[in-house]
Amino acid sequence: MSTPNVAPFLSIRLDKDSPNPIYLQIAEGIGELLKSGALPAGYVLPPERALCERFGISRMTLRQAMGLLDREGLIESRRGRGTVVTPARLRKQQQELKSFSEEIRDRGGRPESRLISLERTLPGESVRDFFELGDQQKVYEIHRLRLKDGEPLALEFVRIPERLCPGLERFDIAKNSLYQILEESYGLRLENCIEEISAEAPTAKLRKLLALPKNAAVLVVNRKTFAEDGRAVELTRSTYRGDQYSAIVRSVRKKKPILRASTSS
Amino acid sequence: MSTPNVAPFLSIRLDKDSPNPIYLQIAEGIGELLKSGALPAGYVLPPERALCERFGISRMTLRQAMGLLDREGLIESRRGRGTVVTPARLRKQQQELKSFSEEIRDRGGRPESRLISLERTLPGESVRDFFELGDQQKVYEIHRLRLKDGEPLALEFVRIPERLCPGLERFDIAKNSLYQILEESYGLRLENCIEEISAEAPTAKLRKLLALPKNAAVLVVNRKTFAEDGRAVELTRSTYRGDQYSAIVRSVRKKKPILRASTSS
DNA sequence: ATCTACGAATGGTATAGACATTTGGTCTAG
DNA sequence: CTAGACCAAATGTCTATACCATTCGTAGAT
């Protein structure tokens, strides 16, 4: 065939007046085709020039879209050969920053929360340094019991500088997501976090609070959360029932540097 | 000043005949400047057009380099404002697939390994399914004790299909990295893994092997490793001393529900 | 003094084309 | 029948240019 088969891509519609740039529309369109599994792994995509013609765009623009798909691991290109669809299990997936509620719901449970205490207090030295606070600036210290499907799952100890969210005690922290309050009411856009995960034997107090069985351990997650502008926002120690909860991590082998243009918006 | 200050970039030399493309040379050059800390966080880079002139290249090419740096989180660009250097703590760091030895050395310890047993055996059903094996195909089962600075740190239980590495018993698994053997002697290019991290109370046997103190928990890491072509390569259960080891994870907030323009290796 | 409108500067998107490099097939000479 | 030359097709790199969108300082009006 002298005219490459672009049939599967006919459904993609471009809107030149959309606020979304063309390369994004293309990437989303093709991306959905790939994620939906409409094209089998190993399927050879039409060459770039054919797709350009099909969409009526220039090649650099198309390549910007392909670059996005490539970075997501949806496609793989080889110079001289062509571009093929990556098998689903090789596709990348970002480690995602989620609230407790989001995470429990993702795992198919019903999240719940009970406020144990909320204090406004002067932090210790290490905490003060972490948040870059002055001598007299206070932090909120929140203890919450987290439940899944009515059963105690974790004890959470959150520390947030008062400076970032003055008047936090006015909110109903048991009912509302803390992340949501921070983002919507205080305009703190959380961007990333670092977690340190360890295992411990529970104290007697914890055994009682979490209703732990006789011979159980707890999973401790120490989390540091940062906002988009780089400020430290939150310092949390979560203690999970070891028999009810586990953390899942995905790692990738380091490769060569990547190529192609990008956006940051 | 009408001529933007490009002084810090004068040291970057381009070689148009190099096999490395120009945009890569630029990205590496600027990237090293940034990683070395020569430019303070928040430093405003010269505008793209000035850098183009400085390097004698076209803007699209420069932007390709900037795209790389942006994706690594080294710089941040805002339309209308300019491009600034990201604070070091916000820079991206891919979750990396590492061997035990690599990881211990990264943390500043001396890794060691003792082989407890190596068997060639018929796997159970779930393992057979995971590796997609036939009825009669066997797997290697390896138990190793892992030490850091001479102290027991973890017990490791590895399963690998014999099909992928026939004759594995000929290697000295205590002395050499298993990952290295798989990559160099069997040509298995490991690409990514998924780990599930949980906390458990140790069995009596484990307490003895790991020389665990009276009231200690263990951190259990179940790892599934896949090769570049997507085949399942390894299934490992590592049991760490909870008082000596913790896992570190980094997460990123998902921005729009669609494709992301940054991040990836 | 304050507000507004404008415009310059800057990064973001898009075009059209050129040449380089790699791959894989085909043709040809031996 | 094979080895090598050659060619076509595909992605990779690069240029030069144009215009768009956002930001911010400033000149001018009130």
CA of A226 to C1' of D13 (A): 38
Provide the β-strand partners of residue A196.
A222, B248
Q: Which residue has the tokens 């069985």?
A: A213
Domain A7-90, CATH 1.10.287.1060 — does that match?
A: no
Give the model's pLDDT for residue A193.
Answer: 87
Show the tokens assigned to A52. Answer: 């350009």
Chain A partners within 8 Å of B217 (Cβ): 199-201, 217-218, 242
Show the tokens assigned to B144. Answer: 């190793």
- CB proximity A83–strand D (7 Å threshold): yes
Q: Where in chain A is the domain with CATH 3.40.1410.10?
A: 100-241
Chain A partners within 8 Å of B191 (Cβ): 90, 252-253
Do B95 and A31 make contact, defined as CB atoms within 8 angstroms?
no
Chain A partners within 8 Å of B196 (Cβ): 246-249
Neighbours of A57 (CB within 10 A): 19
The per-residue pLDDT string of chain B (265 residues; one tens digit each, 9 = 90 and over) reads 444 566 677 788 888 888 899 999 999 999 999 988 899 999 999 999 999 999 999 999 999 999 999 999 999 999 999 999 998 877 877 777 788 988 999 899 999 999 999 999 999 999 999 999 999 999 999 999 999 999 999 999 999 999 999 999 999 988 888 988 998 888 887 878 899 999 999 999 999 999 999 889 999 999 999 887 778 999 999 999 999 999 988 787 765 443 433 323 2
| pLDDT tens-digit map of A67-96 | 999 999 999 999 999 999 998 877 877 777
Cα four-point dihedral sign A211, A123, A161, A119: positive
Give the model's pLDDT for residue A6.
Answer: 65
Q: Residue B180 and residue B186: Cα distance in Å, rounded?
A: 9
Q: Where in chain A is the domain with CATH 1.10.10.10?
A: 7-90
Cβ atoms B157, B142 nearer than 8 A: yes
CA of B210 to C1' of C2 (A): 74
Cα four-point dihedral sign B59, B63, B66, B70: positive
Give the model's pLDDT for residue A1.
Answer: 42
CATH fold for the domain made of B100-241: Chorismate lyase (3.40.1410)
CA Rg value for chain B: 24
Write down how long chain A is.
Answer: 265
Residue B221: helix, strand or coil by DSSP? strand
Give the model's pLDDT for residue A258.
Answer: 41
CB burial of residue A199 (10 Å; 0-12, 13-18, 19+): buried
Show the tokens assigned to B203. Answer: 């069995």
Do A199 and B192 make contact, defined as CB atoms within 8 angstroms?
no
Cβ atoms A31, A73 nearer than 8 A: no
Regions in chain A scoring below 70 on pLDDT: 1-7, 253-265
Nearest alpha-carbon partner for A165 in A180, A149, A155, A152: A180
Q: Residue B181 and residue B188: Cα distance in Å, rounded?
A: 9
Report the residue of A198, A239, A248 to disrupt the B interface, i.e. the one with the largest count of B CBs within 10 Å. Answer: A198
Q: Residue B56 and residue B36: Cα distance in Å, rounded?
A: 25
CA Rg value for chain A: 24
- CB proximity A58–strand C (7 Å threshold): yes
Alpha helices in chain B (DSSP H): 22-35, 48-55, 59-71, 100-106, 125-131, 178-186, 204-209
Q: Residue A191 and residue A173: Cα distance in Å, rounded?
A: 21
Q: Residue B218 and residue A217: Cα distance in Å, rounded?
A: 8
Cβ atoms A209, A241 nearer than 8 A: no
Do B96 and A254 make contact, defined as CB atoms within 8 angstroms?
yes
CA of A2 to C1' of C20 (A): 24
Give the model's pLDDT for residue A119.
Answer: 96
Whole-number Cα distances in Å, B122 to B115, B140, B145, B148, B167: 20, 9, 23, 32, 16
Phi, psi of B201, rounded to the nearest 5 degrees: -85, 140
Q: Residue B27 and residue B44: Cα distance in Å, rounded?
A: 17
Whole-number Cα distances in Å, A21 to A17, A25, A35, A52, A70: 9, 7, 21, 15, 18
Cβ atoms B264, A72 nearer than 8 A: yes
Residue with CA nearest to D10's C1' atom: A80
Q: Residue A243 and residue A109: Cα distance in Å, rounded?
A: 16
Which of A69, A92, A192 is facing B252, going by the closest CB pair?
Answer: A192
Q: Which residue has the tokens 């381009």?
A: B14
